[in-house]
Amino acid sequence: MAHDFLQRITESLVDGDPIRTVALTREALEAGVEPMAIIDGALLPGMRVVGDRFSTGEYFLPNLIVAASGMKQAMAALEPELKRRHQALASAGTVVIGTVKGDIHEIGKTLVGTMLAANGFEVHDLGVDVPTQRFVDAVKETGATLVGLSALLTTTMSVQRKVIEALVAEGIRSRVKVLVGGAPVSAAWAAEIGADGYAEDAVGACDLAARLVGAR
């Protein structure tokens, strides 16, 4: 039954039917399907298909926008359940997270932020297209010990390096750990730009974040 739900959710996302995506997501939750199973087993595979079809010219920008809307709305339906499962955790630390300047992809960053919050972190989500100085200011204002930088475009990966350089220039690099992620980002890239770590997905980001700030 769970598999059937997951398949139908994926199809609704690929077909560009956000209302159906949300309705099926709610039904799956009510039927006892785990929120992370819905994300990993239905929503992410659907977004991958949409991205691949965009790459091959079968889909266009409006298809991306509609699919993203479906995923966002489904995530909003899942968020309370994700948080509820981790309510008892003590604060693990303060995190500033955002998608770097020039990049408006928000779903992965928001998912990572939600999962960090669900794992006990106090999360300050700066949004998308975040100016480099804004990250620096937010670290100072919040006393964060971790900065998360998301970049989905090969053209915006280099902005992650700029943020690290800005943290160095402001003399606060040693105060914070820097975690980078996003589809074109890799462990090798993280090492090249002097980040403290790279995570491939939201679950990996939570594990690494906890290790980096010594919460685990």
Binding residues for ligand B1M (CB under 6 A) = 44, 47-48, 50-51, 54-55, 61, 64-65, 67-68, 97, 102-109, 111-112, 148-150, 152-154, 179-184, 199, 201-202, 205
Angle value at C-alpha 193, between 140 and 201, nearest 5 degrees: 80
Nearer to ligand B1M, 133 or 154 (CB): 154
Nearer to ligand B1M, 30 or 63 (CB): 63
Nearer to ligand B1M, 33 or 206 (CB): 206
Distance CA 12, CA 10 (A): 6
Nearer to ligand B1M, 28 or 100 (CB): 100
**Helix and strand element counts for the chain (H, E):** 10, 5
Nearer to ligand B1M, 65 or 191 (CB): 65
Distance CA 140, CA 184 (A): 29
The CB-of-209 to ligand B1M minimum distance in angstroms stands at: 8
For 53-140, strand residue ranges (E) read 93-99, 121-125
Let me know if 206 is exposed, middle or buried by CB neighbors in 10 A (0-12, 13-18, 19+): buried
- Residue whose tokens read 């995570």: 199
